[in-house]
């Protein structure tokens, strides 16, 4: 099986230079001590992946997104009787024109700006 680019089977797994390159690509500023530590940690991860690749022949295994089958458990959308609007609004602290009345949270100038944008 070919090696993935930039990996090796040696215990180090990945060099500090490779970690520094990945850090630059990711726009991360890492100190030398962090590069050394991350190289060791990533080496362990790459070693574990290499071990799995040695024993796993995935040629016959289809790609999966879930370990177990997933089924849609949503009920059908069926129209059912519901509360009349008057009964719903009866429990509201305030109602106006058949709607819930709530405190205003946007300032008037923001609302005016949205009205201008909506009409454009």
Q: Is residue 77 part of a domain?
A: no
Q: Which of 58, 77, 109 is the last residue of a domain?
A: 58
pLDDT score recorded for residue 79: 92
Provide the pLDDT for residue 60.
78
Evaluate whether residue 30 is within a structural domain.
yes
Q: CATH number of the domain at 32, please.
A: 1.10.20
Domain count, the chain: 2
Please give the pLDDT value at position 16. 93
Helix ranges (DSSP H) in 58-107:
85-90
| pLDDT of the residue at 75 | 85
- Per-residue CA distances from 104 to 91, 100, 112 (Å): 20, 12, 14
Mark the ranges of the chain whose per-residue pLDDT is less than 50. 1-9, 11-12
85 burial (CB, 10 Å; 0-12 / 13-18 / 19+) is exposed
- pLDDT confidence of residue 118: 59
Give the model's pLDDT for residue 76. Answer: 87
Encode pLDDT of 10-43 as tens digits.
544 799 999 999 999 999 999 999 999 999 999 9
Q: Is residue 26 part of a domain?
A: yes
> What is the domain range of residue 89?
85-119
For residues 55 and 116, give the distance between their C-alpha atoms in angstroms, rounded to a whole number. Answer: 64
User: Do residues 27 and 46 touch, judged by C-beta distance below 8 A?
Assistant: no
Residue 63 domain flag: no
């Amino acid at each position: 099986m070919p090696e993935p680019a930039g990996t090796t089977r040696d215990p180090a797994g990945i060099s500090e230079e490779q970690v520094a390159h990945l850090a630059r690509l990711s726009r991360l500023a890492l100190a030398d001590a962090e590069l050394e530590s991350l190289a060791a940690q990533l080496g362990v991860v790459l070693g574990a992946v290499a071990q799995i690749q040695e024993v796993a022949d995935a040629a016959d295994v289809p790609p999966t997104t879930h370990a177990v089958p997933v089924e849609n458990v949503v009920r059908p959308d069926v129209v059912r009787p519901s509360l009349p609007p008057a009964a719903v609004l009866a429990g509201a602290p305030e109602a106006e024109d058949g709607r819930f009345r709530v405190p205003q949270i946007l300032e008037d100038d923001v609302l005016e700006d949205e009205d201008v944008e909506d009409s454009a």
